[in-house]
Structure 1
Amino acid sequence: MLAALARTATRRPKTVILVWLFLLVAGLGFGTRVFGDLTSSVEDVPGSESVVAAERLDELTPHGDDFNAVLSAPAVDTPQLRERVGAAIADVRKQPGIAQVPDPYTTRGLVSADGKALLIPVTLKSGLDDDAEEEVTGDAADRLREISPGDVAVSGGPLLGEQMGGRAQEDVARAELITLPAVLVVLLLIFGGLRAAALPLLVTVSGVAGAFLTLYGFSQFTDISVYAVQIVTMLGLGLAVDYALLMVIRFREERRKTAERGRPGDVARAVHATVAHAGRTVLFSGLTVAISLSGLVWFPSPFLRSMGLAASAVVVVDMLAALTLLPALLALFGGRIAPAGTKSRTRRRPWSTRGSGPAPEPGAFFARLALFSARRPLAVATTVVAVLTLLALPALGMRINIGDARQLPHDTEARRLYDTVREHYPAGAGTDPVQVLIGAGADPGAEAGMRALPGVRAAESERLSDGTVLLELTPKGSVDGPAATRIVEQVRDLRGEEPVKVTGNAASLVDFRSMLAERAPWAVLTVLVALFALLFAFTGSLLLPLRTLATTLLSLGAALGVVVWVFQDGHLAGLLGGEGLGALSLTAPPLIIAIAFGLAMDYELFILSRMRETWLETGDHRAATIEGLRRSGRVVSCAALLLAIVFGGFMTGGFAPILQIGLGLTLAVLIDATLVRMFLVPATMTLLGRRAWWAPARMRGLHERYGLREDAPVPDGPVLVGQGGDQAVREVRQAPPSP
């Protein structure tokens, strides 16, 4: 398959580029329409008690969604403001689709005690379709914003999703504006020339367009969350850079080899060799990341399922771009890219090798790192594992919640409304209650027992059309805090066989947590088994997949622990533009785990592919460890730096879930590319010795028959492992055997 892709790219490069150009135009033209079809609801679990009860409540109540406007001024009870507020409310009441707007001056609790804030709730009629609801909500909100003097903020209900979608679009545009130039600068420093640096950027833009087009396609069949745009764009941008970087660096190496063989102009041969070696790594890497993300499909939550499908599809788009578009670009323009080890036309020497003395051997620094770990493998492994375990400890106390407007930056309208209500109204004002539906025929004492539950701040009830009683229990604390979720659990324990169902935000959170606890073990098991099979197909080893999975889980746990320490516990969160919220967004942990696990496996494959090449050439496990890190360390380090820039760019928006996910992925990438791949991997490979590449005879037979591999016969006689790091390899060969 890889050979066929390479042949197509070198024989018909212009055709391949035209196909991708068409996809690019379609992605930027049609794909960006996804911004108009985003939803802010992520906590619903189909078939759960909270969803079923909410659907029943919608049938029994005569009104639809509602939203709020809050007016703040030095004094909201002046005759001038009364007149203008009354005129605005009268205009809103006349609009079709509006069920009711109470007079805030005569309705108890809507004017703040200090007289500096005025709350105007607006209720929509039921049965409105999405377009009609969007139109009437927008018109009513615009009219309320015209009230002056004073500051008016309007949000909640259908407006909240629209505002989050708009913020997502702004953040994506800002992130790309920051990220793409920064990525180009780093690529210029890495390659020392514009031509080589521009190719990864072209693949990156194609990956972003593919991300938008993929999201738009999925939006035709399922809801797409406001988080999906940022997460999928972030992932598509980062992986496109990763894969293109790996391919271009390998192409320059192959160009050097062809030049040494007396064929400096044989670009086609270099492209074929690049696709055969680096392309194989990209193929397996893309599959591992896609498999890691596909674990989200196990969850019945539409949000998690759609994120898993969309993100997996974007990974495949990036992989295909690296395996088809990039080889075609190299076939056309690769002859103008300087081979590895030669002087660039724009710089005398790449930035990493400049100095007054002779140029250091390529990869010598990473060879020395590997040698350091190989000389004292047990001490290095113990130290790194201890550090990662310490960083991971806060994750044991991780809590998740749905969150409120505090997740948004202070300059957003929803956050301004939230802050105004919290400042001028009593504690608990604006907190969504726990809604309990008590069916007809239930024990009359059930309602009294629920009203008396600890943690209930206030309780109100009304009888609906079919005799059902709607009991609204306002909890102490936040809408999804410990008191609210405890009330949900206590009501469900207290009801026994009575016809009682619970809904509301707190109930949705309880059901979401239950869904995660029930499905997560199966999702994790499926992903681990699939990745083990894929890693075995890649390496032909039984122990390497187990070692890879264990070290990857360690780095993932460390990154998640730091995110909990920062954004849940509030340490240093202000430096990142966030704040301690007492819990993580329920979207953050599953996405951090799925994406970071895939990215960590990505770097592992970069290193293992080089180790395996040397192992097949030499049969020397020590040389394979050192030479593998020497040849891949630069790629892994540069790729990690570029990914950190990408993720950091998306953290400039200030949206709490994205801050949490961005920090988690940035830390996961940096921890994995430094502590794990540069120290723990060579240490554990040295401890395993030749056993690292062992597999039972039957499994070896399976790999020889079905595994995707490069046939590299072991040559007779002494083998030269490469010019850079030879001294380190010789030192390792002379070192005493590892335990």
Structure 2
Amino acid sequence: MSRSARHGSPALERWGRHVARRAKAIVIFWLLFIVVGFAVALGATGTPSLFSRLDSGEIVVAGENQDGRDLLAQGGGSGFSTYTQTLTGVDLSDPAVASAAASAVQSLSAIEHVESAVNPFVVPGGPTTPDALRFVLDGDPASGGFATVVTFDEGNTAEQEAAATDEVDAVFDSLAEDTGATGDQRGGLRALVDRIIEQVKIDGQRGEGIALPVSFLVMVVVFGGFLAAGFPVLGAIASIAGALASLLGLSYLLDLDASVVNVVTVLGLGLCIDYGLLVVSRFREEMRALLQGAPVADATHAQVVAATAATMNRAGRTVIFSALTVAISLSGLLVLQIPFIRAVSVAGVSVVLIALAVALTLIPALCVLGARRLLKRGTETAADVGVFSRLAERVHRMPWVVIAAVSAVLVVMALPALRLELTSSGPELLPVGTPERTFYEDFRAGYPLLAGAEVLLVSRAPVSEVQAWAETAAADRPGVESVDPARELGNGVVTLGFQTGDSGTGEASRALVDSLRSDRAPFDAYVVGQASGIVDFRATVADRALWAAGLVVLATLVLLFLMTGSVVIPIKALVMNVLSLGAALGVTVWIFEDGHLEGLLRFASTGALENTIPLLVLAFGFGLSMDYEVFLLSRIVELHEQGHDTRSAVTLGLQRSGRIITSAALLMVIVFSGFAAGDLLIMKQMGVALVLAIVIDATLVRMLLVPATMSVLGSANWWAPAPLRRLHERWGITE
């Protein structure tokens, strides 16, 4: 006897009847929610918009690198509030140039909210002195180039700094004209961050602009009508509105990186389309089962209510399981002591809950209101024989061959992941040729002492002691091309810069960081730089990764056990997910780390993946893989509970869910392709990796490996120890 029979109408069935009776009110609520959500998130209500509250930059974690940066900031060396102009084609020996440059510094220093301004012509002794050569192109007065650096007050608001920047630009314009410069570039860290945030917004709008119309067209083909296709798209729009509004709220509790917005909104978009597809398809199936070929005009309101109740009891249960698996995989990231990752986790879970709410309320309510039009192509029930059942039968005939072949392919695809390298890019996140990236590349090449060293030692030791050590021992460290003179900043903070020539993230910088940390200087000091940050990031992940993975695995095993009553199926699902995600990560490394497909995907390889990509891909990919596993298993379990043996349950389950899984995967690929079409490197890597994970999982794994392994295991699929069987009989979630 089923639990439904023992305990009466299941809660989800009752919920479906409730939604059916209040469909109009639910739809009106969600339409108002969409309007309010977008208005609040975009600042149309007069409050700060979400995008005005975002930040972007290097992902930092607790550790030596961050401690050193904190000390550096105490000395006034953060560099975030500087704005720099570089001029070329100038005669530095011309007295008129010197006069114009000195006059410009006076004008810049007089601007409100500007703390200081400096160029080589105001340094005592002029542009040929050692201190001034930092501001001269290539350190050579004959090069015809020099830089003017403006530092804003640290306490400025964004509006104050923007106004001051406009006045600074006016002075820079005059300086370029008065010196007869032929080249004029300007930039700063804040400008770079603002450009990255703007690119996030552009990429997000572009991705959603591609995903929504293309997904709609695909669903028109899948459903055979505009109305049915429009329901999941309307749900996706509601999800985006809710995601943006929830992120705005979270921005007051957490520091949100700009890339978090695209990650979670696109996740919500994809999940809503997937869940909408599942719910609408099941509703049509239930209506056809009730009508048994009768004309759609004969459908009664009672039948519509009954179909909605059955849909919620079955597809609703699948959606809840799916949402829980995605939420569990994202919640595992909370264990990691990384603010950015935790923000993604919290924001991602909130968006999953919104997608779940849409699937359990708005989509079924729309189905109720459009029930008759959803069935305009006929009310005949679908055949149990088709493409997917025939595929399952072929797999059943040679399961060991399928298992061996698919497993071999996945292992080969995963091999590049063994040489995974991580990095933390700055300007490299932007496309080649972007003005902000070009400025930084040229600035670092032409003004290495001014741009900052690739690896920095920060200390409170006397500057003479640091310089003495630098002259005797520092230059012999691995990866060092040159050592900058020790500099004393404010508050007794001293820095010693190491030039490695690899922008701070390459092998030379990493080797130097390892050397400086393992063989310490004879005074207390912190090793700072992008390579140092990468070392801390990896250490932080390694310290908590097993806990995070263990919690996700345990929770997933419990959830799938409650769903299936088996301990074999959950373990098998986890093993296949590892293979699937390993393959996706391996191909991602082959593309982005090795530089393949640069022209096709429009990116320039940095020789590594951004350090957050593996974590995000594994978390999101695991959740989405389990999403399709739940879609398939829910049908197989349902059929098995109805008395089908394992082979026929798998065959019929694949036939009845294969079209949904394939369509859902295609739609999710379209959604995440919006990332790949963007220009921001980290988003492109994320998009490509998730597209690969979805394609691999929905084809090789769900269509081939799952039926093959279940065919081999037979009745053993449903095995569980006696105590667990009794536990499932009492607490299991079944029909």
Tell me if TM exceeds 0.5: yes
Distance 1:433 1:416, change over 3 A: closer
For 1:450, which of 456, 469, 474 is the aligned residue?
A: 474
Verify: 1:415 aligned to 2:437, yes or no: yes
Verify: 1:124 aligned to 2:152, yes or no: yes
Q: Deviations over 1:412-435 (max 9, x none)?
A: 32222134447x638898454322
Q: Deviations over 1:147-171 (max 9, x none)?
A: 5676654333222221111111111
Q: Specify the alignment match of 1:185 in structure 2.
A: 217
Q: Distance in 1 between matches of 2:422 and 2:377?
A: 48
Q: Deviations over 1:117-136 (max 9, x none)?
A: 65443333344456645554
Verify: 1:661 aligned to 2:693, yes or no: no
Q: Distance in 1 between matches of 2:90 and 2:75?
A: 39
Is the Cα contact below 8 Å between 1:184 and 1:197 reproduced in 2?
A: yes
For 1:387, which of 409, 426, 430 is the aligned residue?
A: 409
Q: Specify the alignment match of 1:31 in structure 2.
A: 41
Distance 1:232 1:610, change over 3 A: same
Counterpart mapping for 1:2-13 below 5 A? 2-13=12-23
Q: Specify the alignment match of 1:346 in structure 2.
A: none
Is the Cα contact below 8 Å between 2:80 and 2:190 reproduced in 1?
A: yes
Q: Distance in 2 between matches of 1:507 and 1:329?
A: 53
Is the Cα contact below 8 Å between 1:559 and 1:667 reproduced in 2?
A: yes
TM-aligned CA deviation for residue 612 of structure 1: 0.8
Distance 1:496 1:90, change over 3 A: closer
For 2:262, which of 230, 237, 242 is the aligned residue?
A: 230
Q: Distance in 2 between matches of 1:63 and 1:468?
A: 12
Q: Specify the alignment match of 1:688 in structure 2.
A: 713
Is the Cα contact below 8 Å between 1:578 and 1:656 reproduced in 2?
A: yes
**Secondary structure of the corresponding residue to residue 40 of structure 1:** coil
Is the Cα contact below 8 Å between 2:402 and 2:704 reproduced in 1?
A: yes
Q: Specify the alignment match of 1:435 in structure 2.
A: 456
Distance 1:427 1:573, change over 3 A: farther
Verify: 1:277 aligned to 2:293, yes or no: no
**Secondary structure of the corresponding residue to residue 618 of structure 1:** coil
Q: Distance in 1 between matches of 2:521 and 2:86?
A: 45
Instruction: Write the letter of the residue equivalent to 2:37.
Output: G
Is the Cα contact below 8 Å between 1:256 and 1:339 reproduced in 2?
A: no
Q: Distance in 2 between matches of 1:616 and 1:76?
A: 86
**Secondary structure of the corresponding residue to residue 402 of structure 2:** helix
Which range is displaced more, 360-369 or 442-451? Answer: 442-451
Counterpart mapping for 1:47-86 below 5 A? 48-61=63-76, 65-69=80-84, 71=86
Q: Deviations over 1:305-336 (max 9, x none)?
A: 00111011101110110011111111222232
Is the Cα contact below 8 Å between 1:62 and 1:126 reproduced in 2?
A: no
Q: Specify the alignment match of 1:370 in structure 2.
A: 392
Distance 1:601 1:91, change over 3 A: farther
Instruction: Write the letter of the residue equivalent to 2:195.
Output: Q
Counterpart mapping for 1:500-649 below 5 A? 500-649=525-674
**Secondary structure of the corresponding residue to residue 497 of structure 2:** strand
Distance 1:600 1:98, change over 3 A: same
Is the Cα contact below 8 Å between 1:488 and 1:502 reproduced in 2?
A: yes
Q: Distance in 1 between matches of 2:97 and 2:40?
A: 45
TM-aligned CA deviation for residue 676 of structure 1: 0.6
Verify: 1:402 aligned to 2:437, yes or no: no
Q: Specify the alignment match of 1:724 in structure 2.
A: none
Is the Cα contact below 8 Å between 1:573 and 1:579 reproduced in 2?
A: yes
Q: Distance in 2 between matches of 1:450 and 1:435?
A: 12
Aligned-residue CA RMSD in angstroms? 2.9
Instruction: Write the letter of the residue equivalent to 2:373.
Output: R
**Secondary structure of the corresponding residue to residue 26 of structure 1:** helix
Q: Deviations over 1:654-681 (max 9, x none)?
A: 2111110000000100111101111111
Distance 1:698 1:175, change over 3 A: same
Q: Distance in 1 between matches of 2:145 and 2:461?
A: 40
For 1:264, which of 299, 311, 322 is the aligned residue?
A: 299
Distance 1:184 1:627, change over 3 A: same
**Secondary structure of the corresponding residue to residue 122 of structure 1:** strand
Verify: 1:328 aligned to 2:343, yes or no: no
Q: Specify the alignment match of 1:347 in structure 2.
A: none
Is the Cα contact below 8 Å between 1:153 and 1:414 reproduced in 2?
A: no
Distance 1:213 1:537, change over 3 A: same
Q: Specify the alignment match of 2:137 in structure 1.
A: 111
TM-aligned CA deviation for residue 536 of structure 1: 0.8
Q: Distance in 1 between matches of 2:469 and 2:97?
A: 46
Distance 1:430 1:546, change over 3 A: same
Is the Cα contact below 8 Å between 1:428 and 1:478 reproduced in 2?
A: no
TM-aligned CA deviation for residue 470 of structure 1: 2.2
Q: Deviations over 1:162-189 (max 9, x none)?
A: 1111111111112222221111111111
When normalised by structure 2's length, the TM-score is 0.88
Is the Cα contact below 8 Å between 1:267 and 1:335 reproduced in 2?
A: no
Q: Deviations over 1:78-98 (max 9, x none)?
A: 989989877765543332332
For 2:30, which of 20, 37, 40 is the aligned residue?
A: 20
Q: Distance in 1 between matches of 2:585 and 2:390?
A: 30
Distance 1:464 1:553, change over 3 A: same
Instruction: Write the letter of the residue equivalent to 1:273.
Output: A
Which range is displaced more, 158-167 or 407-416? Answer: 407-416
Q: Distance in 2 between matches of 1:689 and 1:341?
A: 37
For 1:165, which of 197, 204, 212 is the aligned residue?
A: 197
Q: Specify the alignment match of 1:305 in structure 2.
A: 342
**Secondary structure of the corresponding residue to residue 224 of structure 1:** coil
Q: Distance in 2 between matches of 1:573 and 1:496?
A: 42
Q: Specify the alignment match of 1:350 in structure 2.
A: none
Verify: 1:100 aligned to 2:113, yes or no: no
**Secondary structure of the corresponding residue to residue 599 of structure 1:** helix
**Secondary structure of the corresponding residue to residue 359 of structure 2:** helix
Is the Cα contact below 8 Å between 2:291 and 2:379 reproduced in 1?
A: no
Is the Cα contact below 8 Å between 2:485 and 2:497 reproduced in 1?
A: yes
Q: Distance in 2 between matches of 1:386 and 1:202?
A: 41
Q: Distance in 2 between matches of 1:153 and 1:699?
A: 69
Q: Distance in 2 between matches of 1:369 and 1:543?
A: 23
* Identical aligned residues as a percent: 36
Instruction: Write the letter of the residue equivalent to 2:606.
Output: L
Q: Paired residues, what number? A: 693
Which range is displaced more, 89-98 or 620-629? Answer: 89-98
Is the Cα contact below 8 Å between 2:243 and 2:268 reproduced in 1?
A: yes
Is the Cα contact below 8 Å between 1:281 and 1:609 reproduced in 2?
A: yes
Q: Distance in 2 between matches of 1:342 and 1:81?
A: 85
Q: Distance in 1 between matches of 2:99 and 2:39?
A: 47
When normalised by structure 1's length, the TM-score is 0.87
Is the Cα contact below 8 Å between 1:434 and 1:484 reproduced in 2?
A: yes
